[in-house]
Amino acid sequence: MPYCVEPRQATTSLQIPRLLALSTVVAGVVAAFPQAGWAMDLRQAYEAAQANDAQVRAARAGADATRERLPQAKAQLRPNVAVNMGRNYNDLTTTGRGLLGSPVTTQTHYYSSNQSLSVRQPIYRPYQQAQVRQAQAQVEDADATLERDEQNLVVRVGESYFDALLAEDQLALILAQKTTYSTQLDAARKGFAAGTGTRTDIDEAQARLDMTVAQELEARQNMEFTRHRLEVLTGQSMDVLARLDVQRFQASAPVPGAVEAWMERAEAHSPELRSLRAQLEAARLEVDKARAGHLPTLDAVAQWSRTNSDNVTSVNTRYDNKTIGLQLSIPLYAGGQISSTVRQSLAAQERAQEMLEATRRDLGVRVHREFRGVTEGVLRIQALEQAVRSAEQAVQSNRRSFEAGVRTTIDVLNAEQQKTLALRDLAQARYLYLVSQLRLQSLAGADRVSTVELANGWLQAAAPHPTPASD
């Protein structure tokens, strides 16, 4: 059965077969385990995951790398100052003809040197100016992407945390059910020996007990897996998780109560949309950069140079040269490369625009789905709480009827099983409500700490206890 209120793609391993949950009755079984170690709540798990999760650390490093594009782009519009210096030893051999036509060879040895200081200040560089604005958009994209990954971490931690709680609840309920079936089997055997029962009662109780034993093995494996997954996410081992305070827990409808308001909030604050809007702006500026290939550039240039013995005719002579002026460069023809680059950039801009629109529509669907998960979760929890009370009353009635000889063992076992299913569905609905709430807040770009504290407020620092030992 998917961990949702309507058919949709699976997103968490809470989607496991035969989900069994803890209720007020089973809480007594859990609390009865020996106490040791310390408890971790959702807030502590999130803080540990923030420091340990490799995906978030990689996103932070990626954002830091992208932020460096802005100072690099701005540097292209600042003065460029360069100093060049050189000193050479020259050995010049000259062969010629003397006055009488005889060959004459002379050798000249001298040092030459040069020093130059040049300053170039861009005045009109449309390509670099567009590059600065593009770098700003890319930084906004990196910041929004990091925020999106941070929001996803809230959901991943919440799903893993409640998944681990559900696995513990499943095992605790199965152990309680196992005890009930064992007691029922023993009573059936005694009744059969006393002549008041039937062999069918024994076989039915034995079959239910055997099935519970198989479910216990599966539940233990699942609890170990979910606990390990949470430990990998947080980078910490833990003895026990803070449990949901079912006595204090009160599901309430989201505020604001209109799904349209949540959609507007998501469109305005969703980090996913902010990232795509920044990508669209960067794509638009890429078009400006491509078109700048047709435009001229203008720089202010100043240079001071000094040369000593620059050539053989100027040995022991020094020249000082100072220049200042403007340098204009006008592109004329580049073989069609610039026009092709413009067309390519326009296509990339259209792609970014369509991706933004597609994501905006999909975000509306996801917000609507999680909004329904919260609002319908409130009603479902209320209905299942009533179902649990009715199932408990049915169990008591069947037991009294069995003692009076009106009902059979099978009737009692069926009532017990129906109660177990009601308890399972109730706990599942509570966890679904909390996870849907985390997802809804994340999609709307809410403050991460506030989102975690909202869910963490329903938890209690349960008395620490180790994993229950196998019977």
Evaluate whether residue 178 is within a structural domain. yes
Mean pLDDT value of segment 392-400: 90
- Report helix, strand or coil for 258: coil
Mean pLDDT value of segment 436-442: 95
Task: Compute the mean pLDDT over every residue in the chain, rounded to the nearest whole number.
Answer: 85
Closest CA to 74 of 120, 121, 133, 123: 133
Min mean pLDDT across 49-53, 328-332, 404-408, 413-417 is at 404-408
The CATH number given to whatever domain includes residue 434 is 1.20.1600.10
For the chain, what is the domain count? 1
Taking 50 as the threshold, does the pLDDT of residue 230 lie above it?
A: yes
Evaluate whether residue 210 is within a structural domain. yes
- Specify the pTM: 0.78
Evaluate whether residue 469 is within a structural domain. no
User: How far is it, in rounded angstroms, from Cα 174 to Cα 219?
Assistant: 8
Sequence-distant (6+) residues with CB within 8 A of 237 are 231
Mean pLDDT value of segment 90-109: 81
Evaluate whether residue 12 is within a structural domain. no
Its domain, for residue 419, covers 24-74+127-293+339-460
461 pLDDT band (50/70/90 cuts)? low
- Report helix, strand or coil for 319: strand
Question: Is the model more confident about 319 or about 57?
Answer: 57
User: How far is it, in rounded angstroms, from Cα 63 to Cα 59?
Assistant: 6
- Report helix, strand or coil for 447: coil
* The two three-digit tokens of residue 181, written as one number: 């079936």
Sequence-distant (6+) residues with CB within 8 A of 255 are none
462 pLDDT band (50/70/90 cuts)? very low
Evaluate whether residue 16 is within a structural domain. no
Min mean pLDDT across 171-175, 265-269, 290-294, 369-373 is at 171-175
Predicted confidence at residue 16, as pLDDT, reads 30
Evaluate whether residue 332 is within a structural domain. no
Evaluate whether residue 51 is within a structural domain. yes
409 pLDDT band (50/70/90 cuts)? confident
Q: What percent of the chain has pLDDT over 90?
A: 61
Min mean pLDDT across 71-85, 154-168, 227-241, 338-352 is at 227-241
Closest CA to 285 of 352, 336, 356: 352
Mean pLDDT value of segment 116-126: 95
Evaluate whether residue 98 is within a structural domain. no
Mean pLDDT value of segment 290-319: 86
